[in-house]
Amino acid sequence: MTYTINQLEALKRALATGERRVSFGDKTVEYRSVEELQAAIRAVEVELARSAGQRPARQIRVTTGKGF
């Protein structure tokens, strides 16, 4: 599916305002949780980057401990 910048902005606006329901034209989607909404935002960002010919950004997290 091809996504638009407007759809990405609507998802981010919903996340910022705490809403879980997002409308795109005549369709409405209600997300069950904030995590699900964040996952949708990441998916749209990856797809937009892919369609623009860019590689999606990767994130590496490092955690350390004392080893006891």
pLDDT band at 35 (very low <50, low <70, confident <90, very high): very high
Q: What was the pLDDT predicted at 46?
A: 87
Q: Per-domain residue ranges for the chain?
A: 5-51
Over residues 31-36, the mean pLDDT reads 92
Q: What DSSP character marks residue 36?
A: H
* CA–CA distance, 42 with 47 (Å, rounded to integer): 9
List, as one string, the DSSP characters of 3-32: --HHHHHHHHHHHHHT--EEEETTEEEE-S
Q: What is the pLDDT of residues 16-30, one digit of tens each?
A: 998 989 988 888 999
The sign of the dihedral angle between the CA atoms of 30, 36, 41, 43 is negative
pTM for this model (two decimals): 0.71
Q: Is the pLDDT of residue 57 over 90?
A: no
Over residues 44-48, the mean pLDDT reads 89
